[in-house]
Each structure stands twice: as C-alpha cells, then as structure tokens.
Amino acid sequence: MANTLQTINMVTQEMLMMLKNNCCFSRAVSREWEKKFAVSGAKIGAELRVRTTPKFGVQSGPAFVAQNYVEEYVSLAINQQKHVDVEFTSFENTLQFDNWAKRVAKPSSARLANEIDKDGLALYSSIANSVVSPTAAASKFYQYQMANAILLQSGAPMDGDFYITVEPMENAAVVNANRGLFQPSEEIASQYKDGMMRSFANFSWQVDQNVASHTTGAWTGQATAIVTVGAQTGSVVLTSGWTNSSPVFLRGDVIQFTGVFAANPQTLLSTGRLRDFVVTADVTSSGAGLASVPVYPPLIVPPDPRATIVSSPAASAPLLFTGTASTTYQQNIACHKEAFTLAMVPLIEPKSGVFARASDPELAMAIRVWQDSNIQTDTHPSRSDILYGWLAQHPALACRIWSVPGVS
C-alpha cells in the first residue's frame, strides 16, 4: 500500500502541473476569492457575495449635499464539479495496461483544463461591450485598438493587466495582417517562429480552442423594431414593431438604441459611442408584435452616479444590431484581469480506497485522484476530480470581438 500511495501522490502532483500548463483563459483572470472557501472551522458554503465598487457623485460649492450610499454585490458560486472516470479489470491491469501516468493522467488533465477554460469563456454572454472583427485580415488592427479604447472608457485601470483570448483562426489572421508592422525584433521573431501574437494593442495575447461561438437571433421584424415609449430606465426595455409571435432575440445578442450614448463611469459625460446592451434571455414577440427585452447593463441616467447612459432612448427610436441575424460568430474576449474571477477548491479526502490531493496556492489549482477496487466484479475504478466556480465580476471591463469562423 505504501508503494501504491507513493505512486498516486507522484501522479497527482504531475497532474496538477499538467492542469495548470493546459489552462489558458483561466491564467488571465483574478483568483482572489478562492481562499475564502472550504476554510476549516469557518466554512461559508458554496456561495460568496462579492461587493462591487460603489460609485459616488461630486458636489459643487460649499453646501453639504448628502447622497445615497448604494452597495451592490455579485455572487460567486462553487457549482462545477468535473471529473474523468476510468475503470480497468484485474486482467487488463495485469496483462495489458501499464504507464497509468502517461496513458490516463496526462490526457485526463488536459481534458479537465479545457473544461475549465470552456466554462470561463462561456461567460461571453454576460459582456455587452462589442466590436466586430472585419472579415478582411488587413483591416483587423483598428478593431482591436477599439476594444482597448472601450475598456479604458469603461474605467479599466491602466496597470498593464490586459489580455485577449482568441480562437486559432482569428489568431492566424491577425498575425498575418500585422506581420509587417513596426515592432521590436524579438516580437516579430516570436510571431514568425510560433505563429502567435504575444503583445499587441496593449494586450497580452493567448490562443484558446475553447473560445465560444454565438449564433445571433432571427430578429424577425428588425427593420421596423422601435422603442415603444420614451424615458425608460431599468433592466427591461419595451419594444414593438416585431413580426407577430416570432423569435426575436437569443441570450447573448447585443443591441443598441439610436441616440443612446454610453456614460463615462467617472465623469458621467458621453463617451461618444452608442451604449452596447447584451440581451440576457431569449425573447419571443407577442401576438401584437410587442417584446419586453431584458438587457445588461441596466439603463441608468445621470445624476445617479451609477449612470450607464447619458439619456434614455426616445419613443420610436430604432434598434440597432451587432452582427447579422442568424449568423454564427466566434466570441474572442479582450479583458482586464479583474473582469472575471475563478475559484478552485480542494475536494475532501475520501473515506475508502487510495487517494491523493494536490493543490498549490501559488498555482491556484487543485485536483484529487481517487482509486478503489470492487471485490464483486474484480474491477478497479479511478476518478480525477476538480471543483470550481466562475464569475463575471466586472463585465464592463471586458469586450467581445466577434469574428466569423474560418475567415482570414
């Protein structure tokens, strides 16, 4: 048993390193909250409320004018347990199977790492800020610069913690389009040898095959869709002019309202750019062509210090749409590190069998490997588990770059 335990400990430590090395998007996000979970003697459960930064108005003149203090929060839930399970008979282990670390542990770690990234990149549907990457590779430079400008307008700190995660075909197009731009020679050499962007447009670049795709809604009746009444605020916008009883939006669609400009989060003045709104649920129009559209961010106007827009949409204002109806786009993500957070929590020790847990505060990763035997069937099951949760804690600090799959 001692030799077996030593082996499983070594394999689990190796799996931890492989898990970390295979994660991509997960390395570019905040990990500050995971230490709050599973603390012996002070367990808080599976959910943590994370306070968002309060916003304040500024008064002019000597008079004191008290303002309401509004404290808001978002919830980080540890709700994803993923595992890879295998089982071998004694016959297989005796005569056919060896090198468990190479044949099981390594591919298992890679698969689990990709699952973590896939779940994180699926948070694109919480992001409103959007730009569409041109189909012509030579025109892509400006749109990525726009993504950086949008994040700065949204209040992202200028501390260098900016990242872009792109799917492989978009990376190839961007590298090809920018191969002749003036850059340090070592950057050009890296792009030439590795075929990957490293640093460009104020972002550190990384390639991830798990970048999500989004298929836009049918937007049936989009040419006649308008805001029903003026001066609307809040998280639902009343619209009309749609085709009766038809699918309108899919969750993750991005729209704008004519004349509705984004408010700078610090000055509350117009950024000069129409505010993007992400649709937070699927929408079908009524029999009269009406649709209540749930959106994020909510429509909040000055003087509220949380203002997201300069003014509400006017009655009969036309709707504008990002992308083309019923079209699939890759959702590359540009973000500041604090836009998203990931928390991984070590699972408890099993009560039977042979097991090993590996976690490293510096790596911020944790995995458990558990092996056992079944005397009734003469089989030996083994499972590799991870436990984690994702949160888009500051989605305003992220921007979606929509690209058409395979177009370069």
- List of residues 6+ apart from 99 with CB closer than 8 A: none
Residue 48's pLDDT is what? Answer: 86
Residue 98's pLDDT is what? Answer: 65
Residue 159's pLDDT is what? Answer: 85
CA gap 118, 201 in Å, rounded = 25
CA gap 150, 265 in Å, rounded = 12
Residue 41's pLDDT is what? Answer: 67
Residue 180's pLDDT is what? Answer: 58
Can you give the chain as a three-state secondary structure string? CHHHHHHHHHHHHHHHHHHHHHCCHHHHCECCCHHHCCCCCCCCCCEEEEECCCCCCCCCCCCCCCCCCCCCEEEEECCEEEEEEEEEEHHHHHHCCCCHHHHHHHHHHHHHHHHHHHHHHHHHHHCCCEEECCCCHHHHHHHHHHHHHHHHHCCCCCCCCEEEEECHHHHHHHHHHCCCCCCCHHHHHHHHHHCCCCEECCEEEEECCCCCEEECCCCCCHHHCEECCCCCCEEEEEEECCCCCCEEECCCCEEEECCCEEECCCCCCEEEEECCEEECCCEECCCCCCEEEEEEEEECCCCCCCCCECCCCCCCCEEEECCCCCCEEEEEEEEEHHHCEEEECCCCCCCCCEEEEEEECCCCEEEEEEECCECCCCEEEEEEEEEEEEECCCHHHEEEEEECCCCC
Tokens of 199: 């640093």
CB-CB contact of 109 with 11 (8 Å): no
Tokens of 356: 């090993």
Residue 386's pLDDT is what? Answer: 92
- For 63, half-sphere exposure in the C-beta direction (CA atoms, 13 angstrom radius) is 3
Tokens of 339: 């836009």
Residues constituting the chain: 408
Residue 84's pLDDT is what? Answer: 92
pTM: predicted TM-score of the whole model, two decimal places: 0.87
CB-CB contact of 240 with 225 (8 Å): yes
In Å, how far are 163, 379, 400, 407 from 143, measured between CA atoms?
15, 56, 11, 15
Q: With a cut of 50, which residues of the chain have pLDDT below it?
A: 1-6, 182, 191-196
Q: Which domains does the chain have, with CATH numbers?
A: 21-58+69-88+106-216+327-338+388-408 (no CATH), 217-321 (2.40.30)
Residue 144's pLDDT is what? Answer: 87
pLDDT tens, position by position, 236-274: 999 999 999 999 999 999 999 999 999 999 899 999 999
